[in-house]
Amino acid sequence: MPAIVDVLWGSVDLHVHSGPSPFPRRFTHAEAARDAGERLGMRGILCKSHHHNTVMDLLSMRDQLAGLSTAAYGGVALNNQVGGINPFAVEMSLRMGGKAVWMPTLSSGRHIDCHPEGVGFPTATVDLSNAKVSIRKDDGSLLDEVFRVLELVSESRALLSGGHMHPDEIEEVFTEAVARGVTRMVVSHPNYVIGAEPEQANRIVALGSYIEHEVSMYDPKGTKKWDPQILKEWIDAVGPEHTVLASDLGQAGRELPVDAFIRVGEILLDLGVAEKDLQKMTRDNPSFLLGLDD
């Protein structure tokens, strides 16, 4: 067994795009959990869809998930397909056992500005034309529904993700979240779509948030192939105690999450990241964010 597998054993992946999904996926949630458990002893995975509440999927797969060593968790992303900033959809997901609420991703203004007409994303099997989901009233203040969503997340001690919103919006929403008792927050791929700089990321970290980076972006055998030194610089700037590594994988035709974790983990060790810090970013921090030790 490669030494990196020992280091990463028991890790948690907060960003798995398994299926079913309107977008083509490489595997189901159950298949993703099986692979994660058999090859990397993962403690858990968080299954994300841009379009629906994944808790429903997982409940329908109970027989397939039974007996697997890796637990699979779900949540809901607040895009058009669930009614945008919809507290009713959030309440249902969390009451059914959901662990995460993502603020708008594909429906956020920031995402639409970066990817007009869906450029860079796979063709879906259904029409997923996206009008912007705004978090604001006409006067610029936050929607009342945003505050209700934050209250529900706080009550459930769930994870709040900034989605694909502009970093200024994430900072504003997270500030309000903290005021309402939310203790688990994450910003995904800050330097992709979202466009945050380390200085602002550290302001968001000061609110209690974690910064999530996707190993898929830095995998030399993957489809994106960003320079891993960029990831190392982000880790140094924010600190491993505030950083999470996740895959953002599961799409058809792309690498498996476990393979990306292993390859990027090895690279980070070669770049000077300590084993204990790699474990913190792949195991300890995401375990806290999913509430696995509550």
CA dist., res. 151 & res. 161, Å (int): 14
CB under 8 A, 24+ apart: contacts of 137-144: 142/172, 142/173, 142/176, 143/85
Of the two residues 111 and 127, the one the predictor is more confident about is 111
Q: Which of 145, 116, 143, 146 is nearest to 129 (CA)?
A: 116
Q: What is the percent of the chain where pLDDT is above 70?
A: 94
Per-residue model confidence as pLDDT tens digits over 204-222:
999 999 999 999 999 999 9
DSSP symbol at 251: B
Task: Work out whether the CA dihedral 280, 167, 148, 98 comes out positive or negative.
Answer: negative
- Going by C-beta distance under 8 Å and a sequence separation of 6 or more, which residues neighbour residue 265? 4, 7, 8, 215, 245, 278, 282
Interval 185-200: pLDDT, tens: 999 999 999 999 999 9
The owner of tokens 């694909």 is 164
- Condensed to tens digits (0 to 9), the pLDDT of residues 142-181 reads 999 999 999 999 999 999 999 999 999 999 999 999 999 9
pLDDT at 112: 85
Bridge partners, residue 28, by sequence: 19
Q: Are 218 and 266 in contact (CB under 8 A)?
A: no
Confidence (pLDDT) at 259: 98
- Sign of the Cα torsion 7, 97, 86, 16 reads positive
Three-state secondary-structure class, residue 15: strand
For residue 114, name the pLDDT band (cuts at 50, 70, 90).
Answer: confident
Structure tokens at 197: 């700089």
All domains in the chain, ordered by first residue: 3-289 (3.20.20.140)
Q: Tell me: the pLDDT tens digits for 236-280?
A: 999 999 999 999 999 999 999 999 999 999 999 999 999 999 999
Global pTM value: 0.95
How many angstroms separate the Cα of 194 from the Cα of each of 36, 47, 203, 293?
Answer: 28, 21, 15, 30
Residue in this structure with the two tokens 């597998």, named with its chain if needed: 5
Closest by CA to 275, choosing from 91, 7, 22, 67, is 7
Give me the helices (H) in 210-274, please.
215-218, 228-238, 257-270
Residue indicated by tokens 């900072």: 171
Contact 247/204 with Cβ under 8 angstroms?
no
